[in-house]
Structure 1
Amino acid sequence: MAHAITVDIAPKPWTGRSDGLSPEHLRWHQVVQPHSANIPPGDCLLIGFSSDEGVRRNKGRRGAAHGPAALRSALSSMALAEPLVLQDAGTVVVSGENLEAGQTALGTAVCTALDDGHFPVVLGGGHEIAYGTYLGVAGAALRAPNTVLGILNLDAHFDLRADLIPSSGTPFCQIAEDEAAADTSHRYAVVGISQPSNTTALFDTAHDLGVTYLLDDQCGVGDRHHVEHFLDGFLDSVDIVYLTIDLDVLPASVAPGVSAPASYGVPMETIQYVCDRVAKSGKLVVLDVAELNPSLDIDNRTARAAARLIHRVVTKHVPFTHPL
């Protein structure tokens, strides 16, 4: 039996352009339903995470708390090549400065969704979303003993700071600490690291933790073979995958609406290719998207780019099946 998912803001009706009701005219807003324990798992379950407390703590530009609403709006009129079963569970809200409680609530929501057989897509919110999403995966039944968790981060930053106060810059350090304490195994890989945006100390931490990464200038359109080789090695080394997209991995011309726009960035073509490969791997169990700040966006460019990536992952996703 499916279970209720606890959120702070219930899902709201979706609206958008309508060209007709037949299958060849369908758009997201016409098929998204409020999550219900009576609806069987489908192709995607959306969970919002309204937070920019982690960005504030990381001394970034606030506004990512409005990301979930902007992402839903950008997704609403996207056309579907074929009908899908899409549900919206609503939004977890970080109240004031209580980030940790919000991350715990998000973890519970993601865990419930996974245990009920859904494919959760979490809409952020700052990149502090990552620790909440991880808590959900770590507690889910599919994280069986000896299961190697792969975390693939599309990001200009490692987010491996070892600060005493958690923020949007610390989630993957927190995850590494939790994994070590639980004596479980995970692989953390990053596509799009900007050398000028990460100190030598962060590169040293990545090395000490066995993090694999590609620099942004190794991810051009002409570097497809290099990116493919990197993905092959990562996917072959893990059992399940958590994909997290920090939108500041994209060039500022594509994604201006983030706390730290990229001066160089990874081309949309490369990020889209990575998303396609991971979605089709049969190992992807959860996706989250972070750092959209609508107040800094220009012509909704960032929201539209993010929505396209979410759309591709959802429509190309091959569901994970437990090994017999």
Structure 2
Amino acid sequence: MNEHYKTIDSEVWNGRIDDEKDYDAFRWHQIVKPINLFETKDKCLKGFGLLGFCCDKGVQRNLGRKGTSTAPNSIRKEMVNLPCSFSQETNIYDCGNIVSKGAELEDLQEILASAVYKMLKLELFPIILGGGHEIAYGHYLGIERYLSEQKNENLGIFNLDAHFDMRPYKNGPSSGTMFAQIADRCETQSKEFNYMVAGIQQYGNTVSLFKKADKLNVKYLMARDISRDTMFSVGQDIVRFTKKQSKIYLTLCSDVISSAYAPGVSAPQPFGLHPEIILKLIKTLIQSGKVMSFDIAEVSPRFDEDNRTSKLAAIIVFAVINSVVEFGGASD
């Protein structure tokens, strides 16, 4: 475990200081607390936990563009000077990084599952920074483990993505197979597979994948049907989905966003969604009060221009935290 889990270097959280006493002038680097997730003795921290998944093995297996392993610290760099626009009681902990260092993808996903489980036990709202979208399987396993100790808690998965990520995995899992793996796991455990995805591109998914989604009763919204003009009906579709779930795991693949705003991703999408629409969809989900965890995947600094995609990812995390605080979660 220790070989593949590293606490964050405190030097990462250094930035400009406008005032050392006035909280209204504070920036994130002044309040983020680095911790060793697996050594903390606290029974309850409450707040938000940031964790990096420095891995692109799933992307490589999926024949995508490698580069996502450096994303967590690149996104952190863009978070450093974000303003503390939430209440002073809000805590943000940096729980470090999971690093590949020659490990197999499946082992790293198990480590991620243990980390997510520990964060939830500490009453933290996990925010996982990818890394490839293979992050989703490990993240799900951690939530599943935690919810198995709760009563009557069914989980819905909401994915913002250009792809279903339900490809066959007979030759091993990748960043394109996670939700097929989860569906199969749900079947073996006699659980419902509650999966909704928004932003699907017809040119990015085979006919077979659409048929599989229909067979598994996956709810999906095509990117072409999501716009400012359709936000009311889209919001209604999301509300219908959230009402049927006890808890929701929210995951975002950066390739759902138009490459005009997110050029540094594994699979750029020229017809992707506008960032403002992404933020509205996220807020609609969080308003349900059921979102318990979030991750953002497929940011690839290797292909980024002026850190635009990392900056966008940081702003999305900023919006998630502020929305969760606004609707009464993850604070003392």
TM above 0.5, yes or no, is: yes
Which string of whole-angstrom CA distances, capped at 9 and with x for unpartnered residues, describes residues 205-261 of structure 1? 101111001000111121111211111111111110000010000000110000110
Q: What TM-score do the two structures reach when normalised by structure 1?
A: 0.94
The one-letter amino acid paired with 1:8 is Y
From 307, 313, 320, give the equivalent of 1:306. 313
Match of 1:43 in 2: 47
Give the Cα–Cα distance (whole angstroms) in 1 for the partners of residues 151 and 216 of structure 2.
Answer: 21
From 57, 70, 74, give the equivalent of 1:66. 70
Displacement after TM superposition at 1:12 (Å): 1.6
Pair 1:271–1:263, CA change in 2 (3 A): same
Contact 1:126 / 1:290 at 8 angstroms: preserved in 2? yes
Match of 1:115 in 2: 121
| Gapped regions of structure 2 (runs ≥ 5) | none
Task: Look up the SS of the partner of 1:140 in the other structure.
Answer: helix
Match of 2:189 in 1: 182
Which string of whole-angstrom CA distances, capped at 9 and with x for unpartnered residues, describes residues 109-133 of structure 1? 0011112211110010000000010
Task: Look up the SS of the partner of 2:186 in the other structure.
Answer: helix
Match of 2:217 in 1: 210
Displacement after TM superposition at 1:5 (Å): 9.9
Aligned CA RMSD, in angstroms, stands at: 1.9
Give the Cα–Cα distance (whole angstroms) in 2 for the partners of residues 290 and 10 of structure 1.
Answer: 20
| Gapped regions of structure 1 (runs ≥ 5) | none
Pair 1:203–1:166, CA change in 2 (3 A): same
Give the Cα–Cα distance (whole angstroms) in 2 for the partners of residues 20 and 279 of structure 1.
Answer: 32
How many residues are paired up?
A: 318
Give the Cα–Cα distance (whole angstroms) in 1 for the partners of residues 189 and 321 of structure 2.
Answer: 31
Q: After TM superposition, list the pairs within 5 Å mapping 1:11-90 onto structure 2.
A: 11-13=8-10, 14-21=13-20, 22-35=22-35, 36-38=40-42, 40-82=44-86, 83=88, 84-90=90-96
Give the Cα–Cα distance (whole angstroms) in 2 for the partners of residues 221 and 16 of structure 1.
Answer: 36
Match of 1:168 in 2: 175
Give the Cα–Cα distance (whole angstroms) in 2 for the partners of residues 91 and 99 of structure 1.
Answer: 15
Pair 1:98–1:124, CA change in 2 (3 A): same
The one-letter amino acid paired with 2:24 is E
Pair 1:142–1:181, CA change in 2 (3 A): closer
Match of 2:105 in 1: 99
Task: Look up the SS of the partner of 1:119 in the other structure.
Answer: strand
Q: What TM-score do the two structures reach when normalised by structure 2?
A: 0.91
Pair 1:168–1:319, CA change in 2 (3 A): farther
Contact 1:115 / 1:142 at 8 angstroms: preserved in 2? no
